[in-house]
Structure 1
Amino acid sequence: MVPQIGDEVVVSCEPASARVAALDSRHITLEWPWGVIDNSSNFRWDGGFSIPCDDSDLEWVPYHIEPVVSELRAGDVCMVSIPPTRLYVGHYEEYDPPRNLGWVPAPTAGIYVIPPENMDEEDAGCMLYMGGAEPIRVELVDD
């Protein structure tokens, strides 16, 4: 399946354990449980991924953290996932060769997803990378 702009999809990612690297009033940074730093890459990914702490932030990602961020401190372990979520496709691209982003395995595709309530906002979505280490699933909604 190659998603098209405007398609409605259900996106999900199974939970994984992650350590909290840092936390401030706006973001929680996790030691990302998927992917390994590619030391041969010109891109210097540090192994972390920052997620907005609350829904009021202008940034949006579909990731869910348990327990809630307010209960976590640096060094704690949490679960990160994408519960099955209905979203719209804003953009889709395939990478051949896989895209060098500083981690291995490198992703083979990217999908920009937008929540339904933000469809009219140009930068209201999030790019998810597929075909790498993150077990992201994307299913087309048929109804």
Structure 2
Amino acid sequence: MLPQVGDEVVVSCEPACAEVVRVDARYITVKWPWGVIDDSSSFRWDGTNALPYGDAHPEWVPYRIEPAASELRVGDMCTVSIPPTRLHVGHYEEYNPPRNLGWSPAPTAGIHVLPPEKADDEEAGCMLYLGGAEPVRLEPVED
């Protein structure tokens, strides 16, 4: 399936365990459970990912943390996933060769997704990488 701008898709990612490495008022940072650091890359990814949390946070991502980020402390284990979520496609791109982002395996595509209620807001949304480390799944919406 090659998603087009304006399509609606169901996005999901199977749960994986991650260790909390930092918590502040706006973000929870975890050791990213997918992929490994690519030492040959000129990009210096440190193996972590910071996810926004809290109702007042202006950023949005489809990833969910369990237990709730507000309950977690440094050193705790949590689950990171994307429950099946209906999202709007804002942008889609393929990478040939795979895109060098500092982790391996490198992604072969990227999709910018937004909640349907924010489909007109180009600043909203989140870029997800496909065909690489994260087991993100896309399915067409069938109404």
Instruction: Give the TM-score category using the shorter length.
Output: over 0.9
Counterpart Cα distance in 2 of 1:114 and 1:75: 31
Task: Please name the residue that 1:109 is paired with.
Answer: 109
CA–CA separation in structure 1 for the residues paired with 2:21 and 2:73 = 9
TM-score, normalised via structure 2 length: 0.98
Counterpart-to-counterpart distance in 1, 2:3 and 2:73: 38
CA 1:27–1:21 in 2, change beyond 3 Å: closer, same or farther?
Answer: same
Residue 55 of structure 1 deviates from its aligned partner by 3.2
Match of 2:119 in 1: 119
Matched, 1:97 2:97: yes
Range moving further from structure 2, 39-48 or 115-124: 115-124
Structure 1 gap ranges (5+)? none
Which digits, 9 at most, give the CA deviation of each residue in 1:75-112, with x for residues without a partner?
10000000000000000000010000000000000000
Structure 2 gap segments, 5+ residues each: none
After TM superposition, the structure 1 = structure 2 runs for residues 65-84 of structure 1, keeping only pairs within 5 Å, are 65-84=65-84
Q: Give, in angstroms, the shift of residue 56 of structure 1.
A: 2.1
Partner-residue secondary structure (3-state), 2:70: helix
Alignment partner, residue 58 of structure 1: 58
Which residue number corresponds to residue 12 of structure 2? 12
TM-score (norm 1): 0.98
* CA distance, structure 1, for counterparts of residue 122 and residue 115 of structure 2: 12
Q: Give how far 1:142 is off.
A: 2.1
RMSD of Structure 2 on Structure 1 (CA): 0.7
